Amino acid sequence: MKIKMLLLCCLGVLLSWGIAMAVPTEITIMVKTKDAKFLGSSMGGALITIRDAHTGELLAKGVTSGSTGNTEVIMQSPHPRGAVLSDEKSGKFKATIDIDEPTLVEVTAYGPLAQIQAANRASVTQWVVPGKNITGGDAWIMELPGFVVDILDPPTHVKLKGAPQEVLIRANITMM
């Protein structure tokens, strides 16, 4: 009986030898609008999805939240390549994914969620190594181009009859 148990244990060890254990890996994603600030809570944030680029498996999903960042640092002061532009309050999405081998992940950002008429999508791929967190500093910044356009006049419900000579159009336009 003891020999059978020993053989079963040895067989179990041999069979599990090639099985890798998933390692929790932290990733922080920030969305910076093109030539502007971070996409944070004031604009509804951006929907972030993290997928295995080869299989399409969803690894994490959530919304960025936080501030748009420090205007002085981001928009007014010259900064060298690689300088950290974010701070602790800057809009971000934090996720922990479980991977057991280097994995090519695709991250997609869609937003701003509070201005769907102006929402845009960007995606990027990057290799992620188990246990090698992508956090701290600016972590992983994605860039989202575009403008937020709110038509103020004429109101949405107004139907223009015929072909008017002149139509007054007023809009509030903000960099994404």
pLDDT at 14: 53
Rounded mean pLDDT of the chain? Answer: 88
Hey, what are 112's tokens?
A: 């701003």
Per residue in 63-101, pLDDT (tens digit) is: 999 998 888 888 888 988 888 888 899 999 999 999 999
Q: Is residue 133 part of a domain?
A: yes
Lowest pLDDT segment from 75-79, 111-115, 133-137, 157-161: 157-161
The total number of structural domains in the chain stands at: 1
Q: Is residue 152 part of a domain?
A: no
pLDDT at 158: 81
Q: Is residue 16 part of a domain?
A: no
* CB contact at 8 A, 30 and 90: yes
First to last CA, the chain: 71
Per residue in 28-58, pLDDT (tens digit) is: 999 999 888 999 999 999 999 999 999 999 9
Q: Is residue 166 part of a domain?
A: no
Q: Is residue 42 part of a domain?
A: yes
Residue 113 has pLDDT above 70, yes or no: yes
Hey, what are 1's tokens?
A: 């009986």
Q: Is residue 171 part of a domain?
A: no
- The range of the structural domain enclosing residue 107 comes to 21-145
CA–CA distance, 166 with 143 (Å, rounded to integer): 38
Burial class for 111, CB neighbours closer than 10 Å (0-12, 13-18, 19+): buried
CATH code of 130's domain: 2.60.40
Residue 18 has pLDDT above 50, yes or no: no
Q: Is residue 151 part of a domain?
A: no
- The residue ranking higher by pLDDT, 25 or 1, is 25
Q: Is residue 3 part of a domain?
A: no
